[in-house]
Structure 1
Amino acid sequence: MASLAEASHNDEADTTHISEIGDGSHIVSDVRDPEGLADLLGDECVRTILVEAKKEPRSAAELSDCAGVSEPTVYRRLERLREYDLVTEEIQPVTDGKNYKLYRTRLDGIELDLDEDGFEITISRRDRMRDRFVQFVEGT
């Protein structure tokens, strides 16, 4: 793995700083709600969504079939995953005019560290080449 740039958290402003690793991944430190994230990842449906959407972009209907749950359940889980920026959605245009969304996992890994102050969660995310190019061109 390439060297890791520093990721830090500003307690006063309650902001998270994102740093880039040489391989294109991003690190986010100090998740603002580690208990909520742990609860979310404890859900079997969520884990299935993350695994299946990492293999390839999938629609909510496909994820529903993979997880064996209803589409409304999948949409609720996807909303929570988007709150933590663990999935992305993209519009898939269809020639008959009925566009639909595909979901892709951004999560690359999670690290949990214990120190004297408690737990620290570090999330690494992988951006798609297209997204990194757009960020480069737009200067963001």
Structure 2
Amino acid sequence: MTSLTEARQKAQNGTTYIDEPRDGPLTVSDVRDPEALADLLGDECARTILVEAKKKPRSAAELSDCAGVSEPTVYRRLERLREYDLVTEDIQPVTDGKNYKLYRTELDGIELDLSEDGFDITVSRRDRMVDRFTQFVEGS
């Protein structure tokens, strides 16, 4: 197993697999704008969304109830969280033809390092089995 420090160094050249857990490889990537991500994670609504969507996939309405904020606020936070690949959305088909989206947290962990140059943030994510299958089928 590769250490997180080694994985961080390798992640600068692309995705690095450092473990083979139950649900898929753990991917580690450096964040392009650590200050903006730190600000986002400092937001209580964003943190609530991450926690609740990690428990199970949830709709924006459910996340709105969990966070105690309006749906437009949830959608704004979801958009920002998606910029960092911390959440994904899945289409949930409904028999009446009106599909809706469920949001799932893809974040497994965050490492914050302090150096003389400032802060570095490393994000680790778990690949879902369905995504790994799609990549296999598409040959990417």
Structure 1 counterpart of 2:49: 49
Shift of 1:116: 2.9
The structure, 1 or 2, with the larger RCO (C-alpha pairs under 8 Å, 6+ apart) is: 2
Q: Does 1:25 align with 2:26?
A: yes
Q: Between Structure 1 and Structure 2, which shows a larger proportion of helix residues?
A: 2
Q: Distance in 1 between matches of 2:110 and 2:117?
A: 19
Deviation, 1:138, is: 1.3
Structure 1 residue 72, shift from structure 2 partner: 0.6
Aligned residue for 2:64?
Answer: 64
The amino acid of 1:28's aligned partner reads S
Q: Deviations over 1:90-135 (max 9, x none)?
A: 1000000110000000010000112233221110011111111111
CA distance in 1 between counterparts of 2:119 and 2:49 reads 26
Q: What is the alpha-carbon distance in structure 1 between the residues aligned to residue 75 and residue 83 of structure 2? A: 12
Following superposition, the deviation at residue 74 of structure 1 comes to 0.3
SS of corresponding position for 1:49: helix
The aligned residue for residue 114 of structure 2 is 114
Secondary structure of 2:112's match?
strand
Moved over 4 A (4+): none
CA distance in 2, matches of 1:139, 1:106: 22
| Match of residue 13 from structure 1 | none
Q: Report the Cα distance in structure 2 between the residues aligned to 1:32 and 1:53, rounded to whole angstroms.
A: 24
Taking structure 2 as the reference length, what is the TM-score of the superposition?
0.88
Provide the residue aligned with 1:90 in structure 2.
Answer: 90
Structure 2, gaps ≥5 residues long: none
RMSD: 1.2
CA-CA distance at 1:58 after TM superposition: 0.3
SS in 2 for 1:57: coil
User: Tell me, what secondary structure is at the counterpart of 1:78?
Assistant: helix
Unaligned stretches of 5+ in structure 1? 10-16
Normalising by structure 1, we get a TM-score of: 0.88
Q: What's the secondary structure of 1:3's corresponding residue?
A: coil
**Is residue 2:7 matched to residue 1:8?**
no
